[in-house]
Amino acid sequence: MVHVEVVETSSLGDRSYLAHDGGVALVVDPQRDIDRFLALAGRLGVRITHVAETHLHNDYVSGGLALAKATGAAYLVASDEDVRFDRTGISDGDQIAASDTLVLRGVATPGHTFHHLSYILSGPGGPEGVFTGGSLLFGTTGRTDLLGAEHARTLARRQHASARRLADLLPDGAHIWPTHGFGSFCSAGRSDAASSTIGREKQTNPVLRLEADDFVTQTLDELDAYPAYYAHMGVRNRAGADLIDLTPAQPADPAELRTRIAAGEWVVDLRTRTAFARRHLAGTLSFGLDGSMATWLGWLTPWGRPLTLLGESPAQLAEAQRELARIGIDRPVAATPGTPEQWAGGDTARLEATPVASFADLAAARSGRVPDHLPPPDVVLDVRLTGEWRDGHIDGALHTPLPELAQRLDEIPPGTVWVHCASGYRAAAASSLLQRAGRRTVHIDGAYSDAVTAGLPITESR
């Protein structure tokens, strides 16, 4: 009689949930675009009576307050959180009956944040599972350094105790429904699992297998950088966010685009990196909608500065606008569908291409056999994050993580720069940043594992 529907936001690596009994429903950790939850409730024929937050989120702007206002639902937030809006305060052990068959119990699970809550969901037969937010995830836990490095060790120890508490409270068959852990930088580690239970986590999750000291040490050692825009999310969520405006932004004509690019504004091309490499408007930046556009663009773009979007269609622009609104970039100053030729106003001098290579091409070039269509490499630039670099990198490569590149362009040695990452997506963004700065680049578009196959020497920095 209890059903749990998953609302996936794969671009940010998060999940929200709608639990219902066929009549009433409760929503846990909703994203900013609440129309998805209203539409789902409508399709199911259920009424949303409660909206619950496990914590004040760091990786997205919550839609919880707006959804509660729109539906008249009670808004459940930890009693100890200092927020600027009316809510129903929840403390450890509090029980909320949405109906006779749908009951939530708040469980204090500090670790990801100081006042983090998990919610045990029970039906007529007892506990069905637990909404764990950023506490116990699939194969890992939520990271513990988002409130400042000075709190990371204390919170890691609390994270360990919280996970153990959930494991003790629930039967092995109880489902785990985490918010993070599907690519989100809020997760301390990665897992490919699509679902899990308390029993499975007891067998596989380090937090339930390691003693506290070992868990703390391992967790802190594995933490890497996280998106800069996270600094704005907690503040926004503490204040409470209202409805977003997803109506289309005004298009920009070729003259306006020229002016914005000349002024150094960010004009972003949402097409695939392959299409961008083939032809693009000079001075634009590649953040394809086919990858984690919002995460990387939100990380790199100067916060609060004008942002212009270019896409193949109005639908592509609308999707990007929705994704960016989830992280607090509410309105681009312009959004223009079309082709590079149209954005250039027919002026072919304003169009550029980016040479594309493989790791095999790089190996050949290093052996003195540069492919005829490519300029030889003066610099091989690795733009992966520090943890990826330490695990192994091409011998002789220069390392500048993508999030730091825009501020460190003058550190890149002169000459032609061949750029790579782990898959090609970040390398496309990096190449476009370099091109915009007047540098000659080659985009290595391929899986990093191909570097080994191609015979390139790999070294570690650990």
Q: pLDDT tens digits, residue range 302-355?
A: 999 999 999 999 999 999 999 999 999 999 999 999 999 999 999 999 999 999
- Phi and psi of 460, rounded to 5°? -115, 160
Query: Tokens 């953040």 label which residue?
Result: 287
For residue 462, pLDDT beyond 70: no
0.75 exceeded by pTM:
yes
pLDDT single digits (tens) 420-443: 999 999 999 999 999 999 999 999
pLDDT digits (tens, 9 = 90+) for 18-35: 999 999 999 999 999 999
* Per-residue model confidence as pLDDT tens digits over 125-136: 999 999 999 999
- Gap between the Cα atoms of 133 and 14, Å rounded: 9
pLDDT band at 191 (very low <50, low <70, confident <90, very high): confident
Q: What is the 3-state secondary structure (H, E, C) of 287-328?
A: CCCCCCHHHHHHHHCCCCCCEEEEECCHHHHHHHHHHHHCCC
Q: What is the DSSP letter of 302?
A: P
